[in-house]
Amino acid sequence: MLIPCILVVLLMSMVLVGAGSYGIDYKLGKSKYGSSAITDTDFHGPPNFHGPHSAILSVNGEDENKNKYIRLMIYLDEPLPLDEIDEFCTQICPLSGAGDIEIRLFLDVNGDGKYSSKKSVGDNWLKTKVEWWNESNEVMGVWSTLDVFDPRFNYQDRSRTKFGNFTDCQEKLGNAGVVKIWITIYEVEYSGATCLIDYLRLGGYVVSFEPLEDQKTKKASPRKVTPGRKITYTLTYGNDYNKTNLTNLVITEHYDPRTTIISASPPPDPGTNNVWTIGTVQPGYYGQIKIVMRVAKQKCKAVIDGRVSGTGYVSVRQRLSTERSSHVITNKVEISCDQFNQSATERTAVKPVEERSITFSEHGSGTYASSEELRYTSTRLGIDRELDACWSPGMINLSHGRSLVYNTSWFASRTCEDQKKLVLLSERFLYGDKLESCVSAQLYGTKSKTRARIDSESNFSGLAVYEIGSRIDERNAALLDILYGNYSVVASNEINVKSGKKDDRWELYHSMKVKQTL
């Protein structure tokens, strides 16, 4: 395809450097009177001009009533100014029959970035036809240069106006841009015609026909990954010079520290995992290296104990969460040889880890004592917590003899939440004069299953509002009791969600026993 003609191909994405960065591509035409293809490594014709592959165009001579042809089409995403293609040339090697070659440039004249076949739009084209070979001349089987802007050629536009040379074309159409080019092979005297085309130079770039040239330096797949998944990097290198070998070519990979290498084909140099010594690369030859990396996955297992007690105003909120934000994995390749040094970088987004969390909070004034054990893994969260709180006014002495009195009842809550599955399970105690509780909260989550459970035993005194709430897929449920006096509450609450191919199946379980005490 299309690449800078003075550099090695540096592959970086799913399309080639030229086609991706400069918007140039080619297409082989189809016809029932001819064929077009890229020669394979078993081709037994003359040596290809650049690398082991060329485009071969062939027209048969079977039907004398048809003007038979086959063409190669070149497309540009953005118009290329006429004055940038004045060195437009290609290599031609006739193989059989007799043929002419027509070059047609399709021009964007009105500035809309494309060519239109409607004359009213004002776009134009230029063409020149070259009598190239027959069975008796000496060009058969020999590579030679076809200079499209040879001053000996005559040009004609769509209005059949003829120009003596390319300078005349530029004077009339100098503001126009080339958006596509046709190179068409016509047979002469119904003899059929077959030829090779290779190494087409256009505006400082080269269209060649090596399969690996249809790449960029570094390609990463997929473009986004989840933690723990694999990334495949494809490195493509090659030589797009005309007659110069690349010597002492070395490729060095720089891996992101958050990735681990799994495999590489071909393997790197002995004693390394990131260096490939290629050596000499002849013009038109390319190679690839495929590297499989694994993105680091969160692996953590922890058990944490805590204890606190005191008198005064207390406000506590703690959160245990699996959430991880998105980040970017960066991989860099360096290519060095005697002729130049270059590098390319590929960035891959790592998807965030959806949050699963257990939260507990308490606040009030008086005496307070609590202890907890927190358990954490990448898929399971757990809290066992004991609380003993008794209401009394709290006072803070300020300067100048002033004081601040806190006189608030006790509030406590526990919440298990899976944001990806939209699952929430909560328990709340409000306006308690005294609160003693033991609570166990657990949250388990995988791709196919989510389980949230809260078990608690509590003793209250005073006025209290006891509430249990749940939410699944934005559907809410709640149990609410308003209690006054002395009482004990034993509660179990659980949500189970199993993910299927079509819908999630879920179960919701609430159990609560309330007993008045003296």
CB environment 400-421: b (16+ within 10 A), e (fewer): eeeeeebebbbbbbbbbbbeeb
User: What is the average pLDDT across 65-81?
Assistant: 85
Q: What sign has the CA pseudo-torsion 376, 382, 388, 389? A: positive
pLDDT (average), residues 26-46: 85
Q: What is the pLDDT of residue 211?
A: 77
Q: How confident is the model at residue 213 (pLDDT cuts 50, 70, 90)?
A: low
Higher pLDDT, residue 330 or 471:
330
Determine how many CB atoms are found less than 10 A away from the CB of residue 507.
11
**Per-residue pLDDT reduced to its tens digit, 114-130:** 999 888 888 999 888 88
Q: What is the mean pLDDT of residues 393-403?
A: 76
Between 161 and 420, the more confident residue is 161
Tracing tokens 């399969």 back to the chain, one arrives at 211
Whole-number pLDDT of residue 219: 65
Which DSSP letter does residue 172 get?
Answer: H
Gap between the Cα atoms of 22 and 28, Å rounded: 20
Residue 370 confidence class, pLDDT cut points 50, 70, 90: very high
Higher pLDDT, 405 or 192: 192
Beta bridge partners, 403, equal: 397
pTM for the model stands at: 0.61
Higher-pLDDT residue of 112, 468: 112
Residue 374 pLDDT more than 50?
A: yes
Label residue 269 left, alpha or beta by phi (over 0 means left) and psi (-120 to 50 means alpha).
beta
Task: Name the band, by pLDDT with cuts 50, 70 and 90, for residue 376.
Answer: confident
Where residue 473 falls among pLDDT bands split at 50, 70, 90? Answer: low
Q: Which amino acid is at 309?
A: S
The reported pLDDT for the residue numbered 19 is: 28
Q: pLDDT at residue 17 above 60?
A: no
6 pLDDT higher than 50:
no
Residue ranges of domains in the chain: 2-7+15-212, 217-296+324-352, 354-516
Confidence bin at 57 (pLDDT 50/70/90): very high
In this prediction, residues 357-382 reach a mean pLDDT of: 89
Q: How much is the pLDDT for 384? A: 92
Run of H or E including 286: strand 286-295
pLDDT over 90 for what percent of the chain?
Answer: 22
> Is residue 390 very low, low, confident or very high in pLDDT (cuts 50, 70, 90)?
very high
* Mean pLDDT of the residues in the chain: 82
Q: Which of 401-410, 433-442, 470-479 has the lowest mean pLDDT?
A: 470-479
Residues 419-439: what's their mean pLDDT?
86
- The architecture of the domain spanning 2-7+15-212 is Sandwich (2.60)
Structure tokens at 66: 């048809």
Position 21 pLDDT exceeds 60: no
Tell which CATH classification among 3.20.190.10, 2.60.40.1530, 3.30.70.360, 2.40.30.160 matches the domain 217-296+324-352.
2.60.40.1530
Q: What is the CA radius of gyration of the chain?
A: 38
Confidence grade of residue 292 (pLDDT, cut at 50, 70, 90): very high
pLDDT of residue 194: 92
* Range among 5-19, 51-65, 213-227, 249-263 with highest mean pLDDT value: 249-263
In this model, does residue 160 exceed pLDDT 70? yes
- The region of weakest confidence among 107-111, 223-227, 244-248, 358-362 is 223-227
